[in-house]
Amino acid sequence: MRASIVKVLLWGYAAFSMAPLVVMLLSSFRPTSEIFDQPIGPPSGLGNYVKAWTEASFSTYVVNSAAVVVGAVLLGAVVSLLAAYPLGRREFRGRSMFAAYFISGMTLPAHLGVLPLFYLLESMGLVDSLTGLVLVYAAGSVPFNVFVLTAFFRQLPHELDEAAALDGAGPLATFWHVMLPLVRPALATVVVFQFVPIWNDFFYPLVLMRDETKLTLPVGLTHFFGQFQNDWGTLFAGLVMTTIPLVVLFVLATRQIVAGLTAGMNR
Amino acid sequence: MALGVRRGQGRNRSSYVFLIPAFLLYSAFVVYPLFTGLTYSFFTWKGTLRDSFAGLDNYAGLLSGAFLDQLLPALGHNALLFAGTMLVQNTLGLAFALALSRVRRGKRALQTMFALPYLVNPLVIGYLWTLLLSPAFGPVNALLKPLGLAMPWLGDPGTALPTVVVITTWQWVGFPMLLFSAALGGIPQEYAEAARTDGAGSWQVLRRITLPLLRPAMATVTILSFIGSMGTFALVYALGGSNGAPAGATDVLGLLFYRTAFASGDVNALGTSSALAVFMFTFIFGSTLLLERVLRRKA
């Protein structure tokens, strides 16, 4: 008896949890006039998506967001990978200092440096530039990446370096031929885990980007909402388009996301 | 042997080469701006030109009448959001984790559905709920109208902030749920069994055994909720714009900082907003340390 009440409550909340997303999805396939007439109803066509993609600049926003995310995640992963290798595997003077320097960034509120960052980028001609955003995000991803990758490098057996050295491999060859193939799972975690916050980030582009043709999705979305205020069908389609890539990523890479979450949790 | 030593040193010096790219990138775009921001707060500014050394004047400015009238309500709203998150979101998360620990069938499906909104961009969530809660055409009021409960949830200063708490809960409840579930999974079954053998009822097992053992997880959830509530920005921006509509009822520190820095028209905007940034950091970081000490104290 009590167990079944608990079950009803749990499934009831699950319905509450899913309902807004279901309404968003359904409404994105309905013309605005129908939505205003009847808030909830069956889907009827793709017109909203065509409109959001062509009339609102969603094509531009999506391409810009994709370019920034890919660029930033790759750059951040590569530089962190290079740094994590000596930090996790070698003895050298200042190692623990460097490790602390990088990893302390996980607790620093990077947003608070946004004004000097703005003027720094301006002096480099990188305000209103996708390259500027890539550099900012890549730099911001360094602490978490270095933290996860250093821990991973440390776990690899020490015989590996010795064997590589006996075979006459220098540090670069050891890194490239021995370490890189082994570190791939951790690299996947880092890449997947950085994707979400960068794709979603609103604050930096809000401050750093003005040019309509260079906007990424989040700021684009704010313009879009002002522009299409009364065209709800198109608005819902835009919301769905912003969300879909993350859902796809989640389905494809649940394992890496969970690994990243736990790595972040135990810090 | 001598060869080995020399070779070893050569290899070690090359370590620095590996560190250079990350070091430059991180120093230039994360560390340098943060510390420069700190120095900005000690000067008066004329637009983007540094004027004169101001000591703590910018900080005093934060406490002057006009600014304080914005700062206190914003800070208060952040605090209310934190309280609401603790009361609603984290309590529900704990309840769900406890309930789910007894569910056999459909546990994974339920967990996934509870956690799914967490994937959605906060800005999308803000706009989605703006539409859902719209007084004229929104489905929520359409459903509530027959019950006589329809109202402008986000349009009334009295209900706006509680509505933000509900929306935040809807998005994040999966997070405390998953953390508590993980912690519950780590408690050996034998503890509860032993207590039952000694005649404890399920309420007593919960109060005397399960909840005390969840203390570390509660500390983690509390601290992360605090940091999240203090830093909220995109969601409230989407719900109420940069002024925290209606009538500033959803204004928070993040919005105030944004307005001060980029939309105040004040000549000394750089000085004031930098001081505000430093104040926010000190306040959040200090409170977090305090919370850590209090919550992680051995009972």
Of A85, A202, A225, the CB nearest to B234: A202
CATH 3.30.830.10 fits domain B61-295: no
Choose, out of A202, A209, A221, A235, the residue to mutate when testing the contact with B (most B CBs < 10 Å).
A202
State the pLDDT confidence band at B3, using cuts at 50, 70 and 90: very low
Checking if the pLDDT of A87 tops 90, the result is yes
Q: Look at the block and give the residue holding tokens 């953390």.
A: B179
Checking if the pLDDT of B117 tops 50, the result is yes
| ipTM score for this prediction | 0.88
| pLDDT tens profile B184-210 | 988 888 888 899 899 888 889 999 999
What is chain A's mean pLDDT, rounded? 89
Please compute the mean of the pLDDT values over residues A68-80 and round it to a whole number.
Answer: 96
| Topology (CATH level 3) of domain A62-214+255-265 | MetI-like fold (1.10.3720)
**Subunit contact A239:B19, Cβ cutoff 8 A:** no
Please compute the mean of the pLDDT values over residues A197-217 and round it to a whole number.
Answer: 93
Please compute the mean of the pLDDT values over residues B241-251 and round it to a whole number.
Answer: 93
Span(s) in chain B for CATH 1.10.3720.10: 61-295
Between A and B, how many residue pairs show a Cβ–Cβ distance under 8 A? 213
| pLDDT tens profile B267-276 | 899 999 999 9
| pLDDT tens profile A223-262 | 999 999 899 999 999 999 999 988 888 778 776 666 665 5
Parse chain A into domains and list their residue ranges. 62-214+255-265
Half-sphere exposure of A202 (CA within 13 A, CB side): 24
C-alpha Rg value of chain B to the nearest Å = 25
Please compute the mean of the pLDDT values over residues B133-138 and round it to a whole number.
Answer: 89
Of A139, A165, A221, the CB nearest to B29: A139
Rounded to two decimals, what is the model's pTM?
A: 0.88
Q: How far is CA A202 from the centre of its chain?
A: 12
B181-212 burial: b if 16+ Cβ within 10 Å, else e: bebbeeeeeeebeebeeeebeeeebeeebbee
Within 8 A of A3 by CB-CB distance, chain B residues are 102
Chain A residue closest to B237 (CA)? A222
Q: State what percent of residues in chain B have pLDDT above 90.
A: 61
Please compute the mean of the pLDDT values over residues A14-34 and round it to a whole number.
Answer: 94
**Subunit contact A246:B19, Cβ cutoff 8 A:** no
**Subunit contact B124:A222, Cβ cutoff 8 A:** no
Which has the higher per-residue pLDDT, B242 or A188? B242
Within 8 A of B273 by CB-CB distance, chain A residues are 115
Structure tokens at B153: 């949830």
Contact residues, B window 179-238, toward A, CB-based 8 Å cutoff: 179, 220, 231, 233-234, 237-238
Structure tokens at A55: 């009339």
C-beta separation of B212 from B273 below 8 A? no
Q: Compute the distance between CA of residue B74 and CA of residue A18 in angstroms, rounded to an integer.
A: 31
